[in-house]
A and B are shown apart, each in its own frame.
Chain A
Amino acid sequence: MTGVLNVRNLTAAILVIGLVLLPVYSHLAGDRFVLTLFTRIVIMAMAATSLNLILGYGGMMSFGHAAYLGIGGYAVGMLAHEGIYSGFVQWPVAIAASALFALVIGALSLRTRGVYFIMITLAFAQMAYYLVSGLARYGGDDGLTIYKRSQFIEPLNLSNKIQFYYLCLALLFATIFLIWRLINSRFGMAVQGARSNETRMRAIGFPTYRYRLACFVIAGTLGGLSGVLLANHGDFVSPAMMYWTRSGDLIIMVVLGGMATAFGPLIGAIALLLLEEFLPLIIKVAGTPFFGSSAAARGSEYWMIVMGPLLLLVVLFARGGIDGMLAKLGAKVSAKERS
C-alpha cells in the first residue's frame, strides 16, 4: 500500500464518508444526540483546523484562539439581541470583527517570539474574555441567549438540524481545502519557510512579518466563522466560549490529531470530544468490577483526573499525534508488503 492509497489517506477518506453519512444514520436510528454531538465536533474541528494554519504550518504558538470563537459568536449574539437576525448582516460583521481583532492582536504579538508570543496571545484573549464579561447589556458573565438563528433566504434554514449539520460540514471541508491550497502556494511555502528559518527567509527577501500577519489574520477570520456556527448551534453565547481553557482544548485537538497535517485537527477534534463525552462512561464500566458500581459511578464524575495525565502521556510519548501514528503504521504495512 503505497502512493495515494496509504493508511493515512484511507483513514481520512473513511472519516469524510462517515461524516457525510452521519445524518443518515441519525435519521434511521432515531438518534438525535449523535447529530448534535457531531455538529459540535465539526464546528470545533473547523476552529482547530484554522488554528493549525498558524500553530502547525506557521509555527506561531497562539494560546488565544478561542477569542475568535467568542468574537464570532458574540457578533451573532449581540446583533440578534438588537433585533438584527439576517445572516447576510451577522456573518460579514462577525468575519470583519474577528479579522480586525486578529489584525490588531497579530500586529502587536508578532513583534515577539517564543514564550512571549504564547503568553501575549493568551493575555489578549483573556482581555477579550473580561471585556465581554463586563458588558452588562449583553448578559455579562451569564451570557446571552439567541432566540433566532441567523436568517438566510429559503430554502436555507439553520434551525433545521440536518441542514445546519451539512452547512457546518461543508464549511469545514472548505476550510480544510482552502488551507491545503494556501499551504501549497507560494504564500504557504514562505510562511513554512519562516517557521524553519526566519533569518534565511528574510535574507532572501521575504517580509516575514507581513506574511505571518496575513497568516494570523486568515486563521483568526476562519476561527471567527466557526464561532458564528458555534453560537448558532448552541443558541447561546457566553464568555466561557473564549475562556483560556477553550484555547487549550483547541491546541490539544491540533497536537493530538497531528500538527501541520490537513486532516490532523479533524481527527484530533473527534478524538478529544468523543473522549470527553465517553470517558466518564469508560471509567464507570472499567471501574465497576474493582470498586463496585456506585463507587465507579461517583468516580466517573472526576474523569478529568484521568484526562490530565492522559494528555501528559500523549505529550511525552506520542509526538506527531494520531496522524503520526497512522503514518508509522502505514510505513510498517508497506515494509511488510515489500518483504
Chain B
Amino acid sequence: MTLFFEQCLNGLQFGLLLFLLAAGLTLVFGIMDLVNLAHGSLYMLGAYFAATFSVWTGNFVFGAVLALAATLVVGMAVEVIVMRRLYSRDHLDHVLGTFGLILFFDESVRLIWGPAGLSLPLPPWLSGSVQILSGFQYSAYRLAIIVVTLGVAAFLYILVMRTRIGMLVRAGASNREMVGALGVNIKLLYTLVFGLGAALAGLAGLMQAPILTVQIGMGENILILAFVVTVIGGIGSIRGALVAALLVGVLDTLGRAFFPDILRTMLSPTAASALAPALSSMLIYLLMAIVLVIKPEGLFSAGNK
C-alpha cells in the first residue's frame, strides 16, 4: 500500500513535469500556430545550464535561477533569429526548421560540454526525505518539484486568464492583425510568449537534472511524451495539457511499477518478464489511441482554451 501511494506521488510529480513542457508547447502552438520540435532542446539546455551554474555559484538555488534566466534568453534569441521567419510558413516547414535547430543544439552542447553526461548533486536540505503521514516517507526533492510545478501552474493560469498581458496573448491568438492594428507590439508579445515557453521547458529540465543524468538527447525522449500529452489534452489548451499530463504521468509510472506484476498473474513468469518492459512502455500510446478514437481533437479541444 505504501509502495502504491509512493508510486502515485511519483506519477504526480512526473505528470506535473510533463505539464511544464506541454504547457510551453501548447502555448506556442495555440498562439503562434508554431510546431516547435526544438522544445526538447530547451529542456536539455535548462539542465546543462543548471549543472554548470550551480557549480559556478556553489549554490543549487542560485544556479537554478540563473539557468532559468539563461534559457529564457536563449528562447527569446531563437524566436527573434529563427522562429519569427517561420510563423507564416506551413507546419511541415516548422517541423523541418526546428529539426535543424535540434541538430544544431545537440551538437553545440557536445562541443561546449563534451559528449559525457553531467550530474547535478542536490544540496543536503533537499536530498533527505520528509515524513508525510505516520510511517510514510517521501523524497523531499520530489515533493519540492510537486510544490514548485503546482505554483507555476497557478501562476500560468492567473497570467493568461487574469492579467492584461494574458488578455493580449489570448487576443493575439484569435486575431493577430487586429491586435496589431490596435497598437499592441505583437512581435514583442510573441517573443515574450516564446521566451516563457522556453523558460518552462528549461525549468522542467533543471528540476529533472538531479534525478536523471544530464545528457545529450535527454530532451528528445521527453519531447515525444509532451507531444502525447498535448495531443490527448487538445492542442492549444493549457487546461487540457494539465489534465492529460497528470493522466500520462500517473499511468506511465504506475504501469512501469505494477504492470509486470499484473501480467505475471495472467501469463507464465518467463513470458511475462519478456513482454512486460515492452508492453508497459506502450500503455500511454494505447491511452492516446483510445482518446483519439473517442475525441479526435483531444479531451479539451482548442475551442474552449
Q: Identify the stretch in A41-49, A80-88, A157-165, A302-310 within 8 Å (CB) of chain B at 4 or more residues.
A: A302-310
**Contacts of A319 on B, CB cut-off 8 Å?**
93
Give the contacting residue for B278; candidates A119, A122, A134, A314; CB below 8 A: A134
**Contacts of B224 on A, CB cut-off 8 Å?**
122-123, 126, 244
Q: When each residue 124-145 of chain A gets 1 if its CB lies under 8 Å from chain B and 0 otherwise, what string results?
A: 1011001111111100000000
* A side interface size, CB within 8 A: 45
| Segment 19-40 of B: residues with Cβ below 8 Å from A | 29, 35
| Segment 240-299 of B: residues with Cβ below 8 Å from A | 274, 277-279, 281-282, 285, 288-289, 292-293, 296-298
Q: Contact: A120 with B288, CB < 8 Å?
A: yes
Minimum distance in angstroms from A138 CB to a CB of chain B:
10
Minimum distance in angstroms from A29 CB to a CB of chain B:
33
**A252 contacts B by Cβ under 8 Å:** yes
Q: Contact: B100 with A108, CB < 8 Å?
A: no
**Contacts of A114 on B, CB cut-off 8 Å?**
91
Give the contacting residue for A315; candidates B97, B285, B292; CB below 8 A: B97
**Contacts of B111 on A, CB cut-off 8 Å?**
302, 305
Secondary structure dominating the interface of A: helix
**B228 contacts A by Cβ under 8 Å:** yes
**Distance between Cα atoms of A64 and B136 in the complex (Å):** 44
Minimum distance in angstroms from B243 CB to a CB of chain A:
17
The contact size tier of chain B is: 35 or more
**Contacts of B95 on A, CB cut-off 8 Å?**
61, 63, 118, 248, 251
**Contacts of B279 on A, CB cut-off 8 Å?**
134
Minimum distance in angstroms from B89 CB to a CB of chain A:
8
**Contacts of A248 on B, CB cut-off 8 Å?**
95-96, 99
**A322 contacts B by Cβ under 8 Å:** no
Given A111-B296, A115-B235, A119-B230: A315 and B93 interface contact (C-beta under 8 Å):
yes
Q: Contact: B227 with A119, CB < 8 Å?
A: yes
**Distance between Cα atoms of A245 and B278 in the complex (Å):** 21
**Contacts of B281 on A, CB cut-off 8 Å?**
127, 130-131, 133-134
**Distance between Cα atoms of A120 and B298 in the complex (Å):** 11
**Contacts of B162 on A, CB cut-off 8 Å?**
none
**A293 contacts B by Cβ under 8 Å:** no
What are 21 A-B residue pairs whose CB atoms fall within 8 Å in the complex? A61-B91, A61-B95, A111-B296, A118-B35, A127-B285, A132-B278, A133-B281, A134-B278, A245-B220, A248-B95, A248-B96, A251-B99, A255-B92, A304-B107, A308-B100, A312-B97, A312-B104, A314-B96, A315-B89, A316-B85, A316-B97
Q: A255-B96, A304-B106 are in contact. List 7 more A-B contacts (CB 8 A).
A: A61-B92, A109-B292, A115-B35, A119-B227, A122-B224, A252-B99, A309-B104
Interface residues of B (CB under 8 A from A): 29, 35, 82, 85-86, 89, 91-93, 95-97, 99-108, 110-111, 220, 224, 227-228, 230-231, 235, 274, 277-279, 281-282, 285, 288-289, 292-293, 296-298
